[in-house]
Amino acid sequence: MTTIGVEEEYLLIDPVTGLPVPLADKVRTAAGLGRLVAEEEVHCELLQAQVEAATPVCGTLEEVGGHLLRLRHALGVAAEAHGCRIAASATPPLRHGHPVAVTDQARYRAMLTQAPQLVAEQLVNGMHVHVGVPSRETGVQVLNRIRVWLPTLTALSANSPLWDGHDTGFASWRTVIFSRWPVSGMPPRFADIADHDRRVQRLLDCGLISDTGQLYWQARLSARYPTVEVRCLDVQVRADDAVMLTGLVRALVETAIAEVGAGTPALDCDQELLQASMWHAARHGLSSTLVDPAGRQRRAGEMLYELLRHVAPALEASGDSRQVTALVHRLLQAGTGADRQRAALARGGLPAVNDLIIGSSPMS
C-alpha cells in the first residue's frame, strides 16, 4: 500500500465581517506554541490571510483523517485567540477593497513584482494529495494515466462558487483563477522522465518560471518528495470529504502503477479536450455533465460511478472501498461544497455562508 500525505490551505476571516484578515504569522506562531502541532506541519502561504497545514506521511485514511482533524483544531484555536477564524473555502465569499499583504519571503516578493494583479487575486485555497511512487520514471507514467480523471476530481471537490460577494456561476472559481499563471492547467503528456526534465529545464532556462514550485499543473511530480502530487482539488468544508478525495487519489495512482507494471497502454486524450473538460468541470461541478476519458459527455453521477469502477481493485486492496464509496454516495446526495455554499447563500446570505465555511465542527 502506497504512502499518502495531504496539504490543506485555509482562509483567515473576521467572523463578523467575513473579510479576510492578514494574521497568518500570528496564527502560525500561536499554533506552534501548543503541543498538537509540529513546526513543519504549519506553513505560510503567498498571502497573509492564508495558512497551510500538512499531515505527516501516512499509511491509512484513518491516519489522514486524524491528522486533518488535529491540525484544523489547533489552527482553529490559534485563530480564535487572535480574533479570527479559519475558513474551509477555496475562495473568500467576500474580499477587501485593497490587496492582502504578501508574506515577506523573497520568492513571494518576486511573484508580486512579476504579476501584481494575479497575486492580489490569489486568495485561493486548495487541497494537495501526495502519493508515493517507486521512481520518478514511474511517476511520469502515472501522470500520463491519471490526467484524464482530473476534471472529475475537480468537479467532485468544487467548493469555490463565490467571489466579491456574488455567485460567479462557477462551482470552482479557484480553478479559473489558478489557470492564469504561465504554467498551469492540465499537465502535458510526457514520453518519459527525460522528456519531462528536458521540458521543465527549458522553462527554467527561458526564465518563464523561477523555480519548479511554479509548475502549477493540476498534477505534477513533487520537487521535494518521491511522490505524485495531485493539486486540482478545492479545500473541503468537511474533513471526511478530504479523506474521501485522498482515498480516490491514492486509488487512481495505485491503479496507474499496476497498469504500468502490466504494460497496459495509457488512455490518450488530446490536450485541448482535457483543458476544455477541466473548464467544464470547474463551471458545473456535479450539476451537469462531465467528459469521460474517451471524450464523450456523460452525466456527472455516471462519471463518478465509472471512476469508482476504475479504481475498485485498488480500493479493495487498501481496505478503503466501503468508506470511500459511502462518502461518495453521501456527497452525491448532499451536494458538493459549492452546492452547500449556494444553498446557504439562498437561505441566509453571506452570513450563512460564513457560518458554513468556518463550521461548528470540522466533520459537520
Q: What is the pLDDT of residues 26-82, one digit of tens each?
A: 998 888 766 667 778 988 899 999 999 999 999 999 999 999 999 999 999 999 999
Under 8 Å CB-to-CB from 204, ≥6 apart: which residues? 210, 211, 212
Distances (CA, A) of 84 to 56, 201, 280: 26, 42, 35
Contact 64, 57 (CB under 8 A): no
Q: What percent of the chain is predicted at pLDDT more than 70?
A: 98
pLDDT surpasses 70 at 360: no
- Residue 141 has a pLDDT of 97
Instruction: Say what the pLDDT of residue 40 is.
Output: 80
Highest mean pLDDT among 46-50, 242-246, 293-297: 242-246
Is-contact 194 90, C-beta < 8 A? no
Poorest-pLDDT segment among 175-184, 222-231, 313-322, 344-353:
222-231
- pLDDT tens digits for range 170-216: 999 999 999 999 999 999 999 999 999 999 999 999 999 888 989 99
| Contact (CB, 8 A) for 92 and 164 | no
For the cut 90, the answer to whether the pLDDT of residue 324 exceeds it is yes
pTM: predicted TM-score of the whole model, two decimal places: 0.95
Q: Answer whether CATH 3.30.590.20 is correct for domain 4-346.
A: yes
Mean pLDDT of the chain: 93
Q: Which of 331, 364, 363 is nearest to 70 (CA)?
A: 363
Residue 25 has which C-alpha cell? 504569522
